[in-house]
Amino acid sequence: MLNFEILKETPFCLGTAQVNWVKETIENMTEEQKIGQIFCPINGEVEPEKIKEFIDEFHPGGVLYRPMPAETIQNCHRAFQDNSDIPMLLAANLESGGVGIASDGTYFSRPMGVAATGDKENAYRLGYISGKEAKAVGCNWSFAPICDLDKNYMNPIMNVRTYGDNVNTVTNFVKEQLRGLDENGVAAAAKHFPGDGVDFRDQHLVASVNSLSVEEYDASYGKIWKEVVDTGILSVMVGHILQPAYSKYFNPDLKDEEILPATLSKELLQGLLREKLGFNGVIVTDATPMVGFTASMARSEALPACIMAGCDMILFNKDIREDYQFIRDALKDGRLTRERLDEAVLRILAMKAAMKLPEKKAEGTLVPEISALSDVGCNEHKEWTAKCADEAVTLVKDTQNLLPISAEKYKKIRLYYIEDRVGGGFKDGDSQIAAFKDLLEKEGFEVSVYDYSKPDFYEMFEAGVSYAKDKFDLAIYVACIDTASNQSVRRIDWVHLMAADAPWFVDEIPTMFISVANPYHLVDVPMVKTFINAYTPTKEVCQQVVEKVMGRSSFKGKSPIDPFCNIWGSRF
């Protein structure tokens, strides 16, 4: 028997007409439609006819598109909503701005860059820009904000995606980001419960571990999640992350080898999230093709098991038809009960009702007119982006008193671009660091860029200090090793032959290191005496960095984490 009373409680708070819509909808759904509601697949189809075919076959409760041009995305979203009897959740990873759904959207800032400004208003603007540009293309569900703590500098997936390692900063900035999203009618799925950032591994590649004790967890992640739940947030995304202490707290008989990641853990979903933290909204898994999920048990078992454990919605598929069949099979043999399926569907429909999606569908306003696209990348958002960049750029150290620089003192600059040499991983936006050459040349410098495509073997094997001094007066390293999924490490990978691009000459030639992504590169270049963190590889950030190294603008940012990584010598 379904408990319709939960529809009147936080976070849904539905009125009588909304409750009736949920009741009538679920009573008239076929089992196939119910199965469809618990899935949120990823899609890339742009043809309306193909989208209609997809809906007719799968009846999905939601869908996510990777960023494409705003007009294309808006048309795709319109086709989904027009062809679906039940209004859909249209999702995006809105972690850093509208660029999370529209490739021509605003790349505002990585969250750590926002935290570096020390101003909660920038967190609100991150949510507002993301929400306004998402709304313009018909997107209504944000897989953000990120509630994790960056407690391990070796972690390759959290890093600049977080607001740092301070509990109060993360809590306050997350709440402001939520406020900005809410003002634009975009629901949030805060992530990644129970909390990422303790382990040094990526849950895309392995089920990672939050190894804190119950007491340590309560004072950190638990405090953040309680305040986030108390905002009335409609949904929470759960990671493929183990939390052994709380798993055993709720089930003392649990053996170590029986502990499961949160997406499959009744103890964490029902004990910690539902009961202790009081969350009554929709629980969505993180992407189920991640190895952290797929290697935890057979997929045919894991999909129904995650619903039985307490998840309401399954994010993404391997083979979508196979995944649906796994759910059908589990319903037939009782591994997934129809009562639990109905409960999951009930909460999903309640969320849609709380977002007023049925009313908007009736009005024809689920996806706005094309004129709304003027909000995407608008001038106001660009101005806010430049302001945030100015306030974020952080001077970590300048123990050689190099700054400010000028073309009179250092005419010839050798510029090294340290970037990913192997593709892969989903990132928020394109890097703009190539702009540094033009920006420096406009200041009167002669700039030569280290050419990775044509190694200078003479410089590599025979040349010495005098050769380098003849070539350049100042070396500037610009690193953009951006946080991305499915990476084991986010470290500098020098040219393997003789580490030819490494700063061996720091005691001979002044050297500066600028990171526009990973803030922890002092692990690999502790010897560099002038180090700047800028957090986000946008053109606005590049421009502000040059303004500051030239001495025309002060460094305003404060590190949200320890950029010295407790490495001996990195502060000198």
Indicate which residues carry an active-site annotation: 286
Inform me whether the pLDDT recorded for 422 exceeds 80: no
Q: Which segments within 199-275 are labelled E, that is strand?
A: 208-209, 235-238, 241-242
Mean pLDDT of 155-184: 98
Q: State yes or no: pLDDT of 421 exceeds 80.
A: no
Query: β-strand 530-533 against 394-398: which pairing, if any?
Result: antiparallel
Is the bond preceding residue 69 a cis peptide, omega within 30 degrees? no
Percentage of the chain beyond pLDDT 90 is 96
pLDDT at position 423, please?
Answer: 65
> What is the side-by-side strand order in the sheet with 511-515?
394-398, 530-533, 511-515, 474-480, 412-419, 446-449
Q: Cα angle at 154 between 148 and 158, to 5 degrees?
A: 25
Domains 4-375 and 385-549 share a fold: no
Q: What is the pLDDT of residue 428?
A: 80
Q: Which residue has the tokens 């190895």?
A: 291
* pLDDT tens-place string over residues 193-220: 999 999 999 999 999 999 999 999 999 9
In terms of Cα–Cα distance, which of 225, 142, 144, 229 is closest to 187?
Answer: 142
Dig out the tokens for 518 from the structure: 């990973």
Is the per-residue pLDDT at 425 higher than 80?
no
Coil vs helix vs strand at 63: strand
Peptide bond into 77 cis (omega under 30): no
Q: pLDDT digit string (tens) for 14-57?
A: 999 999 999 999 999 999 999 999 999 999 999 999 999 999 99
pLDDT band, residue 420 (cuts 50/70/90): confident
Contacting residues for 431 by C-beta, under 8 A, at least 6 apart: 419, 480, 482, 516, 537
Please state whether beta strands 282-287 and 141-142 pair in parallel, antiparallel, or not at all (unpaired): unpaired
Dihedral angle over CA of 403, 406, 411, 415, nearest 10: 50
Question: How close are the terminal C-alpha atoms of the chain, in Å?
Answer: 66
Structure tokens at 155: 């972690």
Residue range 508-551, pLDDT digits in tens: 999 999 999 999 999 999 999 999 999 999 999 999 999 999 99
pLDDT band per the 50, 70, 90 thresholds, residue 455: confident
Domain ranges for the chain: 4-375, 385-549
User: What is the arithmetic mean of pLDDT over 435-445?
Assistant: 98
Residue 51: Cβ within 10 Å count: 22
Residue 392 CB: number of other CB atoms within 10 A? Answer: 30
Which run of H or of E encompasses 122?
A: helix 120-136
What number of CA atoms fall less than 13 Å from residue 195's CA on the CB side?
Answer: 32
pTM: 0.97
DSSP 151-210: --TT-SSSGGGS--S-HHHHHHHHHHHHHHHHTTT-EEEEEEET--SSSSS-TTTS-EE-
pLDDT digits (tens, 9 = 90+) for 102-152: 999 999 999 999 999 999 999 999 999 999 999 999 999 999 999 999 999
> In angstroms, rounded to a whole number, what is the distance separating the alpha carbons of residues 429 and 567?
31
Q: At 239, is the pLDDT very low, low, confident or very high (cuts 50, 70, 90)?
A: very high
CATH code for the structural domain at 385-549: 3.40.50.1700
Compute the distance between CA of residue 536 and CA of residue 114 in angstroms, rounded to an integer. Answer: 10
For 4-375, CATH gives 3.20.20.300
Per-chain mean pLDDT for the chain: 97
